[in-house]
Chains A and B, each alone.
Chain A
Amino acid sequence: MRVLVTGLGTFWGSKLAQRLEAEPSVELVVGVDTREPVVPLERTEFVRADSSFSILERMVRATQVDTILHTHLVVDSTQESGRALHEVNVIGTMNLLAAAGAAGSTVRKVVVKSATLGYGSNYTDPYFFRETMPRTRPAKTRVERSLLEVADVVGDFAEDNPHVSVTVLQFANVLGEHIEAPIARMLRLPLVPEILGFDPRLQFVHEDDVIGALAHATLRDVSGVFNVAGEGTMPWSEVCTILGKRRVAMPPVLTALAAEPLRLAGLVDIPPEVLSLLRYGRGVDTSAYRKAGYRCQYTTAGAVDAFARGLRLQTTVGEPAYHYERDVEDFFRHSPAVVRDGV
Chain B
Amino acid sequence: MLNGGVDGFTGGVTSGPVERAVGTQNLLGADLPAGELVPVPRAPEPRVDDAEIRAGDVDGWGRSEHMRALARLLYDPMYRRWFRVEWEGLENIPTEGGALLVGNHGGAIPSDAPVVMHGIETELGRPVYGMADNLFRSLPVIGTLWSRTGGVPAHPDNAYRLLHDEQQLTLVFPEGTKATGKLARDRYQLRRFGRGGFVEIAMRAGVPIVPLAIVGNEEAMPIVFKSGRLAKLLNIPYFPVTANQFVFGPVLGLIVPLPAKFRIRVLPPVYFDAAPNQERYNRSVVMDHSERIRAQMQAAIFDLLRGRRSVWRG
Contacts and interface: CB of A to CB of B under 8 A. Distances in A.
Interface of A: 18, 21-23, 39-42, 123-128, 130, 133, 176-177, 195-199, 201, 206-208, 232-235, 237-238, 241-242, 252, 280, 283, 297-299, 301-302, 304-306, 309-310, 320-322, 325, 328-329, 332-334, 337-343
B125 interface: no
Contact of B46 (A21, A299, A325, A339): A299
A125 B142 CA distance: 18
Contacts of A343: 29
A132 to B, nearest CB: 10
B2 interface: yes
9 contacts: A22-B21, A123-B137, A124-B155, A127-B161, A197-B141, A238-B55, A280-B137, A322-B38, A322-B39
Identify the 3 closest CB pairs spanning chains A and B, nearest first: A197-B140, A197-B141, A22-B22
Contacts of B227: none
B58 interface: yes
A282 to B, nearest CB: 12
A329 B40 CA distance: 12
A322 B138 CA distance: 44
Interface in B20-64: 21-24, 26-30, 33-35, 37-41, 43-44, 46-47, 50, 53-56, 58, 60-62
Contacts, number: 154
Contacts of A242: 53, 55
A112 to B, nearest CB: 24
Given A41-B35, A127-B158, A280-B137, A306 B56 contact: no
B40 A322 contact: yes
B152 interface: yes
B2 A338 contact: yes
Interface string B1-31: 1110010000000000000011110111110
Nearest to A298: B46
Interface of B: 1-3, 6, 21-24, 26-30, 33-35, 37-41, 43-44, 46-47, 50, 53-56, 58, 60-62, 134-135, 137-144, 152-153, 155-158, 161
A340 B134 CA distance: 66
Central interface residue in B27, B39, B135, B156, by most chain A CB within 10 Å: B27
Most buried by A among B2, B21, B22, B137: B137
A128 B59 CA distance: 13
A299 B50 CA distance: 8
A306 B44 CA distance: 6
A341 B30 contact: yes
A302 B55 contact: no
Contacts of A320: 41
Given A21-B35, A338-B2, A123 B24 contact: no
A206 B156 CA distance: 30
B70 to A, nearest CB: 16
Contact of A304 (B3, B53, B141, B157): B53
